[in-house]
A and B are shown apart, each in its own frame.
Chain A
Amino acid sequence: MAVSEKAMPKAAAQPSRLKKLWEGMSIIFESKIAVIGLVIILFWIFVAIFAPLLTPYTATEQDYTAQNQGPSAKHPLGTDSLGRDLWARLIYGARVVLVMLPVTDKFWLPLGTAIWGVLLGLLAGSTLGLMGGYLGGWVDEVVMRLLDAMMAFPVVLLYMIIIAAVGASATNVVLAIAIVGTPGIARLVRSLTLDIRTRDYVRAAEVRGESPWYIMFVEILPNARGPIIVDAMLRVGYAIFAMGTLGFLGLGLPPPSPDWGSMVAKGRQYILSGSPWAALWPSVAIGSLVVGLNLFADGLSEESTRYQ
């Protein structure tokens, strides 16, 4: 309708940056499921950042007097077979997933392993997708057939091949997530590019004689950001799941680091002997975070398409 034709009142023509940001955020609060998702995600980010303040224990501290215990006042979520506090391991484990990437023993980068993996995948996937979609022709054929070949491998198998080849470490997990995520992202970006490249503003740039790289990254990519952001949210969820899988198979972070996947793997031996806690909590953590990210992505895409 004519709502878009509305003249912006003079005073509101240049809202402050903060206000603009707030207006962008307010779209999230329109959707209930997005808010639920966001609360779950923020909970895990909060506990990960403030882990040292939230527990008196460290992730590797062993208490031989209390092995395989249920929740108690001393250990809120119980302990594992080596008497380590599960709450401490869980929240220190969240750190690796969401807020820090240990590169070496001393050196770490902000943002977690899962997020770095998705970001690298976005970089590679967007570039390949833009090239395939915008340049077309044989570039498109070569790039897309190679990516198709990669997609033919079962995801878990691909993860195992990559980790087996380069060894288990946090940076290699990032690499594996990025490589496995690239074909899917490239396909998405390519299809968005195919649509956007027909717009008149792309033709206007061509008429100005802009280089293909300028057109791809400056004219096209910013207008594909909506679907890419939603897809990235979902991919962080898959990445967390993948990390859990790798950890479970023993291909994740080397012990004794608090890896959710390896916690489940270790804890599952004791489920039948009456101590399900060590396997239960990390499973709940992975599940809740993946569900949270999915809800958030769903809500976001729903709201953003509704008011286009």
Chain B
Amino acid sequence: MTTMEKAHAPILKVGNAAISYETRYGDVEAVRDVSFEVHRAETFGVVGESGCGKSTVAFGIVDFLGANGKIVGGSIKFQGRELVGRSEDELRKLRGDQISMVYQDPMQALNPSVSIGDQLAEVLTVHRDMPKQEAWRKSIDMLNRVYMPDSANVMSRYPHQISGGQQQRVVIAMALLNNPALLIMDEPTTALDVTVEAVVLDLIEDLKRDFDTAIVYITHDLGVVARVCNHVGVMYAGEMVEVGSVESIYKRPLHPYTQGLMRCVPKLGATKESSILYPIRGRVPAPKDRPTGACVFAPRCDYATDCCYSEKPSLREIEEGHRARCFYSEEIDAGAWRPPKGLVPELALGAEEEGQEPIIRVQDLQTYYTQESKALLSLVGAGEKRYVKAVDEVSLEVPPGKTLGVVGESGCGKSTLAKTIIGLETPRGGEADFLGFDITKPVSERDVKLIRELQMVFQNPDSTMNPSYTVGHQIGRPLRRFNAVPPSEVRDEVVRLLNAVRLDESYYKRLPRQLSGGEKQRVGIARAFASRPDLVLCDEPVSALDVSVQAAVLNLLMEIQQEYGTTMMFIAHDLSVVRFFSDYVAVMYLGHIVEIGPAEAIYAPPYQPYTEALLSAVPIPDPTAEQKHIRLSGTVPSALHPPSGCVFHTRCPRRDMLPDGGKICEEKAPPWQYNTDEHRIYCHIPLDELRQMDPVVTTD
């Protein structure tokens, strides 16, 4: 092999790999017929929904398949050498320290009882027999290269003393210390907040350039792929259905599954109409139910013909460097696709009724958590009490039948706000009024009439249902408790509710463990709407779901809302989802609402600087979209000691627009500036200057 050829040889070449797991039901093929290659200084993205075998591919490369997993076919070549079929010892020698992995949760990848410096230096002292001092010095260098602020000091700290984004940077630094030829990243930013994610993604971009490393990047997020990857492989039900460069896949997706995925990802579009989501019918089949000798996607495909059920398409080249596993890739055109009837609800657009009295009105609401000081005095109740100001001076109104989206990073108080309104936390001050009832009282002191009008949809599909009772029993419980219907009609009403969330009667007797995540969430929605409440609070109802399921659940929520005329508060961290779902949006930071107004107004200038930073951090599933590059420095301050003046001043990228570098921001709380009657911004910068800014996202 000449040097020239060697430079062009792929670092990793996977050919027709098949991996199966031994289970109680016999061997189950989790991944089959997967082929791709990754070159030097290139990022290959593997995308797909959960259960499609993405992680199995990653673990297959390093042979970490556990006791019951094994590679049953194909080849995996690393730097030209075959990895499949070798013994454990040989593999270790071949791979050496040439392959590194970065996992999803940095807190679990770092040892909490060893200082960061020791953990980093250990990589070099153990693998490279480097003297300790040199290893220490190199580790600091590496931390600098991953842009760790104050790197020398960070070395002596422990993992829990630095923020999540910094932890992930340490993990990446650790992976890079050996200068690996291949880096495998398994959802490295999924556990991080959007502003932190943006910084880590920037870092990953730089890594390929600086380190000449080949990266296999596994994620479910099409926006992230568009930002960091050069090539993409789309996986569905254990197979690679489409492979190509990022530009070609996003511009012209060739496989119906890829096209479907693109349609159900919320986009940061300009209007509500352009943000409609089209879910994919059905769901990903379990590994043991996958068809053999047929196209795995056929049951969910709009273009499927008899041929798709009787013959298995191969991954063939359709354009140069762009392959798809479909018989009809040349003919189908994503642009000409029209949604089948009944896939999405009719949006009642333009039916604006002006001047409606708000159904809920919150004024200067404060919810503090007390934290007793550790002093001995506090034992007798005389100690100094400190407050975590989870929600501070929040005011908002929602007109009936509308949706207010509440967005913000984790720890900004959005969940506490929901808990306060629903009555699980008691506010310390302020007023809250709902339908003429005072709702500052805890739920135990509220009237049953009020309780039935205020219900909630929860985040985690796995814990939203009590595993001990059937679906029918759990939806029926609020009906019985609130006497919503006579006892003899409970069953019929439950079936009606099940139908309303698109589940048939056979679900009545099922237990939660027999349902998929999306189905559980539907049952949770049916339960919340059972008592016909006037206000439903949704606390991140779709954040744990796959994109195609998420689209279906969102559409369903919207449809039910229109049918029942329910008002909603929709709490989410995903700005694209909120954009699609809400009429009004409130942006929260550290317990305060910093901007509130109609959705269109929030996503266009004038922006509150925090809103602007959030918007510019959102990964957009379109490699051609132009997005402003604003990154927040530092971490969210503790709500125990919120910054003086404007709570955002410690991280605000726009302070320089004010005289004296924004001295006033530290000293004085900003005023509410009214852009329109409904749209107000919490900032010192004059509205005129904010108005002159460019929009964050521009697509063509």
B51 contact from A1, A201, A209, A219, Cβ within 8 A: A1
* Given A5-B51, A13-B510, A207:B455 Cβ within 8 A: yes
What does DSSP make chain A's interface, helix, strand, loop or mixed? Answer: helix
CB of B456 within 8 A of CB of A204, answer yes
Please measure, in the bound complex, the distance between the C-alpha atom of A203 and the C-alpha atom of B465, giving whole angstroms. 11
Cα distance A4–B443 when bound, in Å?
35
The answer to whether A223 touches B51 (Cβ under 8 A) is no
Is B467's CB under 8 angstroms from A5's CB? no
Q: Which residues of B contact A223 (CB under 8 A)?
A: 466-468
**A1-B51, A13-B506 known; A201 vs B464 contact (CB < 8 Å):** yes
Residues of A with C-beta under 8 A to B50: 2
| A273 interfacial by beta-carbon distance below 8 Å | no
Contact for A200 among B283, B460, B509, CB less than 8 A: B460
Residue among B283, B284, B468 having the largest count of chain A Cβ atoms under 10 Å = B468
Q: What is the CB-to-nearest-CB distance from A291 to chain B, in angstroms, rounded to a whole number?
A: 29
Interface check A199, CB cutoff 8 A: yes
On whether the beta carbons of A207 and B468 are closer than 8 Å, the reply is no
Task: Name the A residues within 8 Å of B481 (CB-CB).
Answer: 208-210
**Mask for A187-225, Cβ within 8 A of B = 1, else 0?**
000000000000111011011111000000001001101
Given A1-B30, A5-B283, A209-B443, verify A201-B466 contact (CB < 8 Å).
yes
A8 surroundings in chain B (CB, below 8 A): 510, 514
Q: Please state if B286 and A5 are interface contacts (CB–CB under 8 Å).
A: yes
19 contacts between A and B (CB under 8 A): A1-B23, A2-B284, A3-B288, A5-B516, A5-B517, A6-B286, A13-B506, A200-B524, A201-B466, A204-B458, A204-B527, A204-B528, A207-B423, A207-B456, A208-B455, A208-B478, A209-B446, A209-B448, A223-B468
Check if B287 sits within 8 Å of A1, measured CB to CB.
yes
Residues of B near A6 (CB, < 8 A) are 286, 288-289
Bound CA span A250–B444, Å: 53
A2 touches B478 (CB 8 A): no
- Taking A4-B513, A203-B424 as contacts, is the C-beta distance between A208 and B21 under 8 angstroms? no
Assess the B286–A3 pair: CB atoms within 8 A: yes
Q: With a CB–CB cut-off of 8 A, which chain B residues contact A13?
A: 506, 509-510, 514
Residue A72 lies at the interface, judged by CB distance under 8 Å to chain B: no
Given the complex, which residues of A lie within 8 Å of B510, measured CB to CB?
A: 8, 13
Q: Whose C-beta in chain A lies nearest to the C-beta of B447?
A: A209
A52-79 vs B, CB cutoff 8 Å, 1 = contact: the mask equals 0000000000000000000000000000
Contacts of B451 in A (CB 8 A): 207-209
A200 touches B459 (CB 8 A): yes
Q: Is the interface of B mostly helix, strand, loop or mixed?
A: mixed
Q: B residues within 8 Å of A by Cβ?
A: 21, 23-24, 28, 30, 50-51, 283-284, 286-289, 422-424, 443-444, 446, 448, 451, 454-456, 458-460, 463-469, 474, 477-478, 481-482, 506, 509-510, 513-514, 516-517, 524, 527-528
* A207 and B424 in contact, given A5-B283, A6-B286 (Cβ under 8 angstroms): yes
Interface centre among A2, A7, A219, A225, by most B CB within 10 Å?
A2
Asked if residues B463 and A200 are in contact (CB atoms below 8 Å), the reply is: yes
- A201 in contact with B424 (CB, 8 Å): no
Which residues of the other chain, B, contact A2 by a CB distance below 8 angstroms? Answer: 50-51, 284, 286-287
Least CB distance from B536 to A in Å reads 10
Whether a CB of chain B sits under 8 angstroms from the CB of A19 is no
Name the residue of chain A whose CB is nearest to the CB of B424: A206
Bound CA span A3–B477, Å: 29
**B25 to chain A: closest residue by CB:** A3
The residues in A between 254 and 308 inclusive whose CB is less than 8 angstroms from any CB of B are 307
Q: What are the residues of chain B within 8 A of A199 when measuring CB–CB?
A: 463
Which residue from A1, A200, A207 sits with its C-beta under 8 Å from B443?
A207
For the complex, give the distance between the alpha carbons of A200 and B464 in Å.
5
Q: Does A104 contact B (CB under 8 A)?
A: no
Closest Cβ of chain A: how far from B24's Cβ, in Å? 8
Identify which of A6, A204, A219 gathers the most chain B CB atoms within 10 Å of its CB.
A204
Contacts of B524 in A (CB 8 A): 200, 204
Closest to B56 in A: A1
Q: Are B458 and A200 in contact (CB under 8 A)?
A: yes
Contacts of B482 in A (CB 8 A): 208
Q: Cβ of B284 and Cβ of A5 under 8 Å apart? A: yes
B422–A207 CB distance below 8 A: yes
Q: What residue in chain A is nearest B504 (Cβ atoms)?
A: A10
Give Cα A206–Cα B456 distance, bound, in whole angstroms: 10
Closest-CB distance, B463 to chain A (whole angstroms): 4
State the Cβ distance, A287 to closest chain B Cβ, in Å: 35
List B contacts of A204 (CB < 8 A).
456, 458, 464, 524, 527-528
